[in-house]
């Protein structure tokens, strides 16, 4: 058993994390009818409550925000009630849990949309490729650009989701502005060719993010609101002409809120799905220098790389995704330098308890 900077506490806004391991949001596609969270999620999250902070899976703030099968929502009373039992289970286990507020924008299909409408985005620019639906793989469609007068209504949907998350008892919320979803679509020049107050200059492209953040802060208070970026991620057809300038400006503007944290995805190694593409500058360290609050890094970190990042001052905490999926006792395994459970990728999405709540704990393995 070894001492590690990972096991020391850190403050994230109004919440003190007892250690610097964050469970990253992980879509598991196990919601029930009406996109109500699965009761199994109470066990799943409570098993992982030793994380310094859990950021629960991406959760759509409106029916129009869905882009994957069986993902939970936070826009109905039934969904609020479903989340309540999950939050209570995490708190009973001594944990802290934020909810990630999500709208996928163009990363959707009419099959997911009310009345079969087109998905919306910053601009009418489609994604190449296909997405999974209950009717099989489907080509992405060209989205409809939100009208200027429609944008405040979408901002209000985030605020409503934030209010419902508060009713459900969460400790805070994370605004999902990463991975090519709606806020990211407004931020980046490759997906935003608008000519109104939400397009063109970096100041205009950041406006939607800032309006959403302000609306959510009005519900929660800034010290219980985090924001997530993926400045160099190219998934879902994303790119930006100058990510340093785009995300640097957005980060500087976020500073005025005094947020709980900024959560940035930028793997430190090549070969990860979110690794920095060739020719694209690394951005995370630049944002670390700009952001005035708690800074969380994410993306393919090992224990050693996480310790290194924190010791070097490049992060205050590190978020782990797949390692937490397969290792509910990740903290204890890191403490003992014990081997990790291998993840079963066939059970990542959909299904029941298998590959969800049945990964063995270290002490269980030792007793066998």
- In a structure prediction context, what are the per-residue pLDDT tens digits for the chain, which is 368 residues long? 458 999 999 999 999 999 999 999 999 999 999 999 999 999 999 999 999 999 999 999 999 999 999 999 999 999 999 999 999 999 999 999 999 999 999 999 999 999 999 999 999 999 999 999 999 999 999 999 999 999 999 999 999 999 999 999 999 999 999 999 999 999 999 999 999 999 999 999 999 999 999 999 999 999 999 999 999 999 999 999 999 999 999 999 999 999 999 999 998 877 777 777 877 788 999 999 999 999 999 999 999 999 999 999 999 999 999 999 999 999 999 999 999 999 999 999 999 999 999 999 998 755 44
The answer to whether the CB of 126 falls within 8 A of the CB of 141 is yes
Distances from the Cα of 204 to the Cα of 11, 33, 143, 234, 320, angstroms: 32, 38, 20, 22, 33
Paired tokens of 110: 């009419």
Placement of tokens 């997906």 in the chain: 191
* 3-class DSSP state of 356: coil
Distances from the Cα of 89 to the Cα of 42, 330, 353, angstroms: 6, 18, 17
List the end-to-end C-alpha distance of the chain, in Å, as a whole number: 21
**What's the confidence (pLDDT) of residue 288?**
98
Other residues' Cβ atoms within 10 Å of the Cβ of residue 139: 11
Paired tokens of 72: 């939970």
**What's the confidence (pLDDT) of residue 3?**
84
Calpha distance 141→165 (Å, rounded):
31
Q: What single-letter DSSP state applies at residue 32?
A: B
**What's the confidence (pLDDT) of residue 365?**
56
Paired tokens of 39: 């009761």
Q: Are strands 10-12 and 15-17 parallel, antiparallel or unpaired?
A: antiparallel
**What's the confidence (pLDDT) of residue 28?**
98
Instruction: Tell whether the torsion through CA atoms of 219, 223, 227 and 231 is positive or negative.
Output: positive
| Annotated catalytic residue within 98, 140, 181, 356 | 181
Please give the model's pTM, rounded to 2 decimal places.
0.96
Calpha distance 125→142 (Å, rounded):
6
**181 part of the active site:** yes
Distances from the Cα of 186 to the Cα of 59, 199, 208, 239, 364, angstroms: 19, 8, 7, 12, 47
**Right CATH number for 8-298+308-317 from 3.20.20.70, 1.10.10.10, 3.40.50.620, 1.10.3720.10?**
3.20.20.70
Placement of tokens 């699965």 in the chain: 38
**What's the confidence (pLDDT) of residue 1?**
47
């Amino acid at each position: 058993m070894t001492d590690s900077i990972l096991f020391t506490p850190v403050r994230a806004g109004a919440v003190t994390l007892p250690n610097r391991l964050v469970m990253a949001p992980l879509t598991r596609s196990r919601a029930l009818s009406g996109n109500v969270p699965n009761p199994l999620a109470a066990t799943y999250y409570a098993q992982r409550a030793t994380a310094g902070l859990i950021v629960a899976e991406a959760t759509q703030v409106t029916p129009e925000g869905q882009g994957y099968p069986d993902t939970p929502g936070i826009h109905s009373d039934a969904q609020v009630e479903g989340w309540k039992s999950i939050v209570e289970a995490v708190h009973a286990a001594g944990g802290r849990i934020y909810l990630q507020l999500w709208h996928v924008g163009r990363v959707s299909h009419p099959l997911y949309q009310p009345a079969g409408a087109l998905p919306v985005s910053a601009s009418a620019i489609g994604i190449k490729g296909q997405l999974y639906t209950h009717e099989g793989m489907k080509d992405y469609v060209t989205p409809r650009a939100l009208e200027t007068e429609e944008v405040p209504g979408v901002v209000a949907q985030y605020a409503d989701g934030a209010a419902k998350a508060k009713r459900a008892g969460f400790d805070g919320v994370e605004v999902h502005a990463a991975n090519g979803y709606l806020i990211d679509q407004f931020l980046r020049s490759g997906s935003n060719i608008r000519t109104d107050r939400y397009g063109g200059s970096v100041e205009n492209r950041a406006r939607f993010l800032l309006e959403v953040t302000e609306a959510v802060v009005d519900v929660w208070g800034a010290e219980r609101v985090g924001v997530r970026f993926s400045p160099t991620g190219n998934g879902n057809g994303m790119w930006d002409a100058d990510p340093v300038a785009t995300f640097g400006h957005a980060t500087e503007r976020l500073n005025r809120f005094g947020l709980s944290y900024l959560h940035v995805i930028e793997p430190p190694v090549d070969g990860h799905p979110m690794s920095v593409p060739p020719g694209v500058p690394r951005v995370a360290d630049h944002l670390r220098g700009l952001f005035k609050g708690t800074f969380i890094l994410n993306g393919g970190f090992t224990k050693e790389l996480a310790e290194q990042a924190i010791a070097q001052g490049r992060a205050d905490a590190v978020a782990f995704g797949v390692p937490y999926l397969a290792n509910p006792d990740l903290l204890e395994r890191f403490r003992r330098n014990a081997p990790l459970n291998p993840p079963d990728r066939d059970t990542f999405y959909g299904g029941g308890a298998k590959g969800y709540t049945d990964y063995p704990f270290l002490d269980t393995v030792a007793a066998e």
